[in-house]
Chains A and B, each alone.
Chain A
Amino acid sequence: DTGVSQNPRHKITKRGQNVTFRCDPISEHNRLYWYRQTLGQGPEFLTYFQNEAQLEKSRLLSDRFSAERPKGSFSTLEIQRTEQGDSAMYLCASTTLGGHETQYFGPGTRLLVL
Chain B
Amino acid sequence: AQTVTQSQPEMSVQEAETVTLSCTYDTSESDYYLFWYKQPPSRQMILVIRQEAYKQQNATENRFSVNFQKAAKSFSLKISDSQLGDAAMYFCAYDPTGNQFYFGTGTSLTVIP
Chain A residues packing against B (C-beta within 8 Å): 3-4, 33, 35, 40-45, 48, 55-56, 58, 91, 98-108
Q: A42-B91, A56-B100 are in contact. List 10 more A-B contacts (CB 8 A).
A: A35-B101, A40-B105, A43-B45, A43-B91, A45-B100, A98-B98, A100-B33, A102-B50, A105-B44, A106-B44
Interface band, chain B: 20 to 34
17 interchain pairs, CB-CB under 8 A: A33-B100, A41-B106, A42-B6, A42-B93, A43-B91, A43-B103, A48-B100, A55-B99, A58-B100, A100-B32, A100-B98, A102-B47, A103-B101, A105-B37, A105-B44, A105-B45, A106-B44
The main secondary structure of chain A at its interface with chain B is loop
Distance A70 CA – B48 CA, assembled complex (angstroms): 32
- A69 CA to B97 CA, complexed, in Å: 22
Tell me if B4 counts as interface (CB < 8 A to partner A): yes
Binding site for A on B (CB under 8 A): 4, 6, 32-33, 35, 37, 43-47, 50, 52, 91, 93, 95, 97-106
